[in-house]
Structures are given as structure tokens and as C-alpha cells.
Amino acid sequence: MASDITDSLPKDVPVGQLPPQDWMEADATRAVIAALTAEGGEIRFVGGCVRDAVLRRPIRDIDIATHDPPERVTALLEKAGIRAIPTGLAHGTITAVIGKAHFEITTLRCDIETFGRHARVEFTNDWTLDAARRDFTINAMFCRPDGMIIDPFDGLADLGAGRVRFVGNAMQRIEEDVLRLLRYFRFYAHYGRPPADIDALEACRIQAHKLADLSGERLCGEVMKLLQAPDPAGVLLLMQGHHILQHLLPEARDFGRLRVLVFLETRGLVRPNVAPDPLRRLAAALDVDARGTENVAKRLKLSNALAERLSALAAPPVLPDESMDDKAARRLLHRVGAPHFRDLALLAWARRKAVGDRMTAAETQRWISLLDRSDTWRPVELPVHGRDLIALGVPRGPRIGVYLAAMERWWEAGDYRASRDETLDRLRELVSRDIETSPP
């Protein structure tokens, strides 16, 4: 496959140059470059750091490609006093660590045989062959340490046009690794503009049934990254329209609420406690009951904590409402806590805006007031405890919990205003009454 793609391409022809980059000039980066080139070796930055530098987006991961095999990379790093971790020796990957900075260094390679998520690779000294094994043209660009960009598959043009395009034949690239199907929509969500590539969409549609072969962890990783995009609802709709979402998240149907929630998180509100949250966005998109959220959590292999949070958001027993008075709001805040109350308020507000008529300024202010309550809420605690019941002669055991639950309901009904002395008096009254009515 790679030779077919690369036969007619020019080799190593710079097509542009990045302006000076802080991440390239950082001391840690310069130290790694110096170590790897100390004995005449050549290195290039590759993939996401090049792509995002072109777009002037923040650089998160720095990947480096080199001719040298992993054993030599390790020796060069250690000679320079840089820690080298063999994170993927079989595929030629070494991670260099300097303080908090990590650099993934991979030997140039080409795929000899693929097995789904795995491949048998062969090391090479051909930069274009290495680029040919990558998923998308925008991820197949190299950058030399002097900032010169080498772009064998026209990734720069695609990046500028908002095109997400597979390197080579889309059908074949997905056959090699079905995870690329989800990666296509994730990258389209973050880097693409309509219209989506026809060949890519058709290949994804035809092979969507293979998503069932992927692990839940990998599904979850891609779904959560997609949901962090500026307009995840639009991409999910695209997936639904091409019969792909039914193989991944058939429960995701409430795209209107998701779109409004994204607006509230990013543009509609300016609040320090409101930021994009992929799990909250997932809950907004789901149209399910409690059992449905359990199915989604199992399919995505969510941790117990995330599964519980998703269930509490997607199928809550109680939702805040714009007509909720202060007392009712405080009661729900006490039961679920401020962060969860805030999530529920945002989801309820998004649903109201998605399905209702245009909101008045007064209605909008009432929703904002609910968020204000969550920001100013200070947790309160029942003023009496189990030890107080023991002091009143109640034996240790389940009866303690029964009394405390009754006291919690009484205290809540009084809007949490009763002092400790008042609560103790009520507790004594309750225990005394039970003693008087209990048979001898």
C-alpha cells in the first residue's frame, strides 16, 4: 500500500516554514534535539504538534521521528543524561523525560502486515513511507528543527480548507484499523469544516458494524474527545445520518439539548464554575431511562464513579426548575451537592431552551439564579450524630440509623435552620416518645 502511494511523490521537499515556536525553543526540547543529533542523526517533529503549530493552537504532545533504531535512541539519550523509557520497543517508540516534559520518539517505520489495532512493522529510513502509514493527511506532516515543513500528502492544504482526509484509500485504512473510523469523526469535529470527505464517509458507513469489535475503553476515549469539540452535536448528526451512530450510541438522540448545552458552556455564560464537560454533554445527548444509562456505561466501560455520575445526570429523579423557590433549591443542593446541582440546572435549562418558545429575560434570569445558588451554597450538616443517641441510651445498631434519618427529614423540613440545641431537644423528644410507647 505505502509504495503505491509514495511512488509518484517528491521526497523531502519543504513547502513552508513555521514561525519561531516556544515549544521548539524550550530548554527541554533543545536538549532532546541535541542528544539525538549529536552523532549525525536526523530528527523531525511529526503529527499533532506540527498540525496544531500551523493552526496556532496549544501544543500538548511532542512527537519526534528519527532514522535511528530504538536501541540507538536510548543510548544517545542516556549519554546526554536524559531518562529514556521503552514505551513501545516493538514499534520503535522511546519516551524521553526531562522534568515534566515528555517526548515520544519513534523510529521511521512502515507496516508489513496489519492485525486490527496491531501491525507488524519494519524500520525504514524513508520519511515518506513513514508518513504513508499515518491516518490522515493533516497528521502526516513533518517539521525539521529549523521550522521547515515537509508535507508529502498535502496536509497543509487540507488543514487550511478544513478537510479531514485519509492518507491513501479510506476503505483500506479503516480495514487496517477500525479505530480510525472513530478517529475520523473526532478529527472532523475538531479540525473539519463541511462538507465532509465523501470517500471517508462512505468507507465509515460500510465498516461501521466493525465498531462492535473495539474495546469499550477505546470507544470511550474517542467519544469523550469528540464531545469536547466546538460542535459535537453536528458531528453526531452526521454520524447518525450515515448510519454509523447506531453502532456506537443509538441512545444519543437529543441533539438539540446538546447543542444548547454547548452554547451555554462556551458562549452563553461566563462563569468560573461552568466549563465544557464531555460527560455532561454525553448525558445531554442521551434519551434514556436509568436502564439505558447503565447500558451506555457498560458499553463504554466507564468507571464506577463515571457510570454513577452519568446515570445521575441522564436519568435524574429530580431536575431543577426555573420556578423552584429558594427552599426547594436548598433541599436539592443539600441532597446532591453544588457540582451535581449545577450540572442538573444546565441540563434542565438546555432542555427548556431546546424545546420551548423563546425565553424572556425574566426566565433567563431565573435560570441564572439557580446557578448562583450552586455557586454560593455552603454544605450543611445535621447538628446531631450517632454519639448523641448513644448518650441518650439508644443501643448501637440499626436503630441509630433510623433515628438519624427521621431527624434529617425533620431538619430538612425546617429548611436546615434548627440549631444544635433545638435539634437535640427534638431528638430527646423523639427517643422519649418511643420509650413511652414501647411495650415493657
Contact 62, 21 (CB under 8 A): no
The pLDDT, as a whole number, for residue 183 is: 98
Over pLDDT 90: what percentage of the chain? 85
Instruction: Give dist(CA 346, CA 364) in Å, integer.
Output: 12
The pLDDT, as a whole number, for residue 12 is: 74
Instruction: Give dist(CA 12, CA 371) in Å, integer.
Output: 55
Please report which confidence band the pLDDT of residue 196 belongs to, taking 50, 70 and 90 as the band edges: very high
Per-residue pLDDT reduced to its tens digit, 203-236: 999 999 999 999 999 999 999 999 999 999 999 9
Q: What would the mean pLDDT of 117-142 be, rounded to a whole number?
A: 88
Contact 15, 151 (CB under 8 A): yes
Query: Is 244's pLDDT higher than 90?
Result: yes
The pLDDT, as a whole number, for residue 208 is: 98
Entry pTM: 0.88
Distance of CA 86 to the CA centre of its chain: 27
Over pLDDT 70: what percentage of the chain? 94
In a domain? residue 191? yes
Query: Is 348's pLDDT higher than 70?
Result: yes
In a domain? residue 331? yes
The pLDDT, as a whole number, for residue 3 is: 46
Please report which confidence band the pLDDT of residue 2 belongs to, taking 50, 70 and 90 as the band edges: very low
Same domain, residue pair 94 and 241: no
Please report which confidence band the pLDDT of residue 89 belongs to, taking 50, 70 and 90 as the band edges: confident
Same domain, residue pair 131 and 188: no
Please report which confidence band the pLDDT of residue 99 belongs to, taking 50, 70 and 90 as the band edges: very high
User: What CATH code is carried by the domain that includes residue 10?
Assistant: 3.30.460.10
Lowest mean pLDDT of 120-124, 135-139, 368-372, name the range.
120-124
The pLDDT, as a whole number, for residue 359 is: 86
Query: Is 1's pLDDT higher than 60?
Result: no
Residue corresponding to grid cell 501491525: 119
**Which range among 118-132, 242-256, 308-322, 324-338 has the greatest average pLDDT?**
242-256
Same domain, residue pair 17 and 57: yes
Q: Of 379, 406, 424, which residue is a domain's last?
A: 379
In a domain? residue 289? yes
Please report which confidence band the pLDDT of residue 438 belongs to, taking 50, 70 and 90 as the band edges: low
Please report which confidence band the pLDDT of residue 83 belongs to, taking 50, 70 and 90 as the band edges: very high
Same domain, residue pair 191 and 268: no
Same domain, residue pair 331 and 424: no
Same domain, residue pair 153 and 173: no
- Termini Cα distance of the chain: 89
Q: What would the mean pLDDT of 184-195 be, rounded to a whole number?
A: 98
Query: Is 112's pLDDT higher than 80?
Result: no
In a domain? residue 163? no
Please report which confidence band the pLDDT of residue 113 belongs to, taking 50, 70 and 90 as the band edges: low
Same domain, residue pair 259 and 276: yes
Query: Is 6's pLDDT higher than 60?
Result: no
Query: Is 271's pLDDT higher than 80?
Result: yes
Instruction: Give dist(CA 167, CA 131) in Å, integer.
Output: 8
Q: Of 197, 231, 250, which residue is a domain's last?
A: 250
Q: What would the mean pLDDT of 328-332 be, rounded to a whole number?
A: 92
Q: What is the 3-state secondary structure (H, E, C) of 301-345?
A: CCCHHHHHHHHHHHCCCCCCCCCCCHHHHHHHHHHHCHHHHHHHH
Q: Containing domain of residue 312, as a range?
A: 251-379
Same domain, residue pair 25 and 101: yes
Query: What is the chain's mean pLDDT, rounded?
Result: 92
Query: Is 122's pLDDT higher than 90?
Result: no
User: What CATH code is carried by the domain that includes residue 236?
Assistant: 1.10.3090.10
Between CA 297 and CA 301, with CA 300 as vertex, the angle to 5 degrees is: 80
Domain count, the chain: 4
Q: Of 213, 231, 250, which residue is a domain's last?
A: 250
The pLDDT, as a whole number, for residue 317 is: 86
Please report which confidence band the pLDDT of residue 433 belongs to, taking 50, 70 and 90 as the band edges: confident
DSSP tally for the chain: helices H, then strands E = 22, 10
Same domain, residue pair 17 and 140: yes
In a domain? residue 188? yes
The pLDDT, as a whole number, for residue 119 is: 58
Residue that wins the pLDDT comparison between 137 and 5: 137
Same domain, residue pair 285 and 370: yes
In a domain? residue 21? yes
Same domain, residue pair 130 and 13: yes
Measuring CA to CA, which residue among 91, 75, 78, 81 is closest to residue 63? 91
Instruction: Give dist(CA 420, CA 408) in Å, integer.
Output: 13
Same domain, residue pair 16 and 112: yes
Residue 96 has φ and ψ, to the nearest 5°, of -95, 135
